[in-house]
Amino acid sequence: MSVMLQIDGLAKRFGGVKAVDSCSFEVEEGTITALIGPNGSGKTTAFNMITGYLKADEGRLDFRGETVSRPRPAPLYRRGLSRTFQQARIFPELTVEENLVVARGGSWTTMFQRRVSRKDHERAMRMLEEFGLSDLAGLRAADLSYGQRKLLEFASVLMSEPKLVLLDEPTAGVNPVMIDTMERHIRERHAAGTTFLIVEHDMQFVMRLCDPVIVLDRGAPIAMGTPSEIQSDPKVLEAYLGS
Ligand code: ADP
């Protein structure tokens, strides 16, 4: 298995707070890797640096065998790295279908002149079908339920056919049925060859879906292993109890 993403010595300080410090880990191609840790352990900050939404103070990032000297969201997206956010970022005033077309790179001009190519339309409809959202294609995204928006955001990031998808708390605030739906879609995409890195608080979800699991504490990994290794690691227990 080859390394999809390698993080080396990543660091970020906010004033006197070391949010991420000497943080190194890798994500192997073909895995569903989890990044967990107590509140404030640096997961979001690390995610934001990896995806180019926040500039790192120090550290190196290699993606698909190449060093990314200045990570920025759009070039990374074009190279095959996409992400979701804790609060789903979708375009509320566009329809469900239009959200997918825009995610694919359809320009805004095209969108507003309502000149969606047939190919883009078909691709979007296939994705909606895969996600069971076909009936909602013409609905404004603003009118979707919270869980449906998260699902739409997930479907949108898949439109670029990414190699690596970073999911930021995919189950947060989502009902149990929707959690199962989310899990099923992650599994399906994983089986089709997509690699995942997931920040998630729902430990049951993590333990049944992810392998390996990386545990952050105070900005750096303290453990990495299979779910059962992580669950029986005294360092991990201590980090959670001490938080
Ligand atoms: P997690 O996602 O694991 O909960 P975060 O990455 O959000 O952790 O936060 C790590 C640390 O950095 C925390 O102490 C947090 O208060 C601090 N932090 C995060 N973002 C900022 C910011 N924009 N300004 C100041 N401190 C921040």
Tens digit of each residue's pLDDT (9 = 90 or more) over 84-131: 998 889 999 999 998 998 887 655 555 555 566 788 888 899 999 999
Q: Does ligand 1 lie within 6 Å of residue 37's CB atom?
A: yes
Nearest CA to ligand 1 atom 1: 40
Question: Up-side HSE of residue 60: CA atoms within 13 Å toward CB?
Answer: 6
Encoded amino acid at 224, one letter? M
Which residue is it, tokens 């804790």? 86
> What 8-state DSSP symbol labels residue 194?
-
Nearest CA to ligand 1 atom 23: 14
pLDDT of residue 194: 98
pLDDT of residue 120: 81
Would you call 64 exposed, middle or buried from its count of C-beta atoms within 10 A (0-12, 13-18, 19+)? middle
Distance between CA atoms of 82 and 93, rounded to whole angstroms?
A: 22
Nearest CA to ligand 1 atom 6: 42
Q: Mention every residue, 6+ apart, whose C-beta is less than 8 A from residue 38.
A: 217, 239, 240, 242, 243
Q: Concatenated DSSP letters for 131-171?
A: TT-GGGTTSBGGGS-HHHHHHHHHHHHHTT--SEEEEE-TT
> Do 186 and 170 touch, CB atoms closer than 8 A?
yes
Q: Is the pLDDT of residue 7 over 80?
A: yes
Distance between CA atoms of 124 and 87, rounded to whole angstroms?
A: 22
Q: Could you tell me which residue, 114 or 152, shows the higher pLDDT?
A: 152
Tokens for 181? 């739906």
Closest CA to 172 of 104, 84, 42: 84
Tens digit of each residue's pLDDT (9 = 90 or more) over 165-223: 999 999 999 999 999 999 999 999 999 999 999 999 999 999 999 999 999 999 999 99
> Separation of 19 CA from ligand 1 center, angstroms?
6
> Separation of 13 CA from ligand 1 center, angstroms?
9
pLDDT of residue 111: 53
pLDDT of residue 113: 55
Q: Does ligand 1 lie within 6 Å of residue 73's CB atom?
A: no
Beta strand segments in the chain, E: 3-14, 17-28, 32-36, 58-63, 66-67, 81-83, 164-168, 195-199, 213-217, 220-225
Band of pLDDT at residue 33, cut at 50, 70 and 90: very high
pLDDT of residue 31: 98
Percent of all residues in the chain with a pLDDT value above 90, rounded to a whole number: 82
Q: Does ligand 1 lie within 6 Å of residue 41's CB atom?
A: yes
Which residue is it, tokens 């980090």? 239
> Separation of 241 CA from ligand 1 center, angstroms?
19
Q: Does ligand 1 lie within 6 Å of residue 17's CB atom?
A: yes
Distance between CA atoms of 150 and 36, rounded to whole angstroms?
A: 20
CATH number at 1-80+162-243 = 3.40.50.300
Mutational pocket test of ligand 1: of 13, 17, 218, the residue with most ligand atoms within 8 Å of the beta carbon: 17
Boundaries of CATH 3.40.50.300 in the chain? 1-80+162-243
The CA dihedral of 170, 15, 215, 80, to the nearest 10 degrees, is 50
Kindly indicate whether the ipTM for this predicted assembly is greater than 0.95, answering yes or no: yes
Mean pLDDT estimate for the chain: 92
